């Protein structure tokens, strides 16, 4: 969907950005780099490739397909077959209910202190490993 994946002039709440390190390959044209990344991703499919997108946003407003999908559909030698499908309402309701369902917390039985002491007796932690641990979310 164009509104979610393509760069905008102003910042958006739902803007997904691709890191420069992923698309940077020496050329000046960022759009061409993204087009090449899209092509590479498509060619990784082994047998079948399905590209899907939403037709409407949460408010019922129509969404525009992403530029690269539009280019594929409008090409004279297009190999894409456009099929429109809609999820059944009960499947959407079930998915929303699953997202709201609380899952049971898993509790681990702590190991006895003496066993832990034996396991970490000669353990050493480097400064960089400690910093990585401390920054871990």
Q: How far apart are CA 35 and CA 29, in angstroms?
A: 10
User: Domain residue spans in the chain?
Assistant: 2-86
What is the Cα–Cα distance from 4 to 53, expressed in whole angstroms? 10
In terms of Cα–Cα distance, which of 45, 3, 40 is closest to 23?
Answer: 40
23, with CB counted inside 10 A (0-12, 13-18, 19+), is middle
Q: What's the pLDDT tens digit per position in 65-99?
A: 888 888 888 887 777 777 878 888 899 899 889 98
Give residues with Cβ within 8 angstroms of 79, minimum separation 6. Answer: 72
- pLDDT digit of tens for each residue in the chain (137 aa)? 555 556 555 555 555 566 666 655 666 777 888 888 888 888 898 888 888 888 888 888 888 888 888 888 888 777 777 787 888 889 989 988 998 988 888 888 999 999 999 999 988 888 988 888 898 87
Query: What's the pLDDT at 115?
Result: 93
User: Cα 1 vs. chain centroid, distance in angstroms?
Assistant: 13
């Amino acid at each position: 969907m164009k509104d979610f994946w393509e760069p905008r002039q102003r910042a958006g709440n739902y803007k997904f950005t691709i890191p420069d390190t992923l698309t940077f390959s020496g050329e000046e044209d960022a759009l061409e780099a993204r087009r090449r990344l899209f092509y590479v991703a498509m060619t990784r499919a082994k047998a079948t490739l399905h590209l899907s997108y939403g037709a409407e946003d949460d408010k019922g407003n129509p969404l525009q397909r992403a530029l690269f999908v539009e280019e594929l559909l409008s090409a004279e030698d297009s190999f894409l077959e456009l099929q429109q499908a809609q999820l059944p309402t009960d499947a959407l309701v079930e998915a929303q209910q699953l997202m709201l369902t609380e899952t049971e917390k898993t509790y681990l039985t702590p190991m006895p202190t003496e066993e832990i002491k034996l396991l970490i007796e000669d353990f050493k932690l480097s400064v960089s490993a400690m910093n990585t641990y401390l920054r871990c979310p």
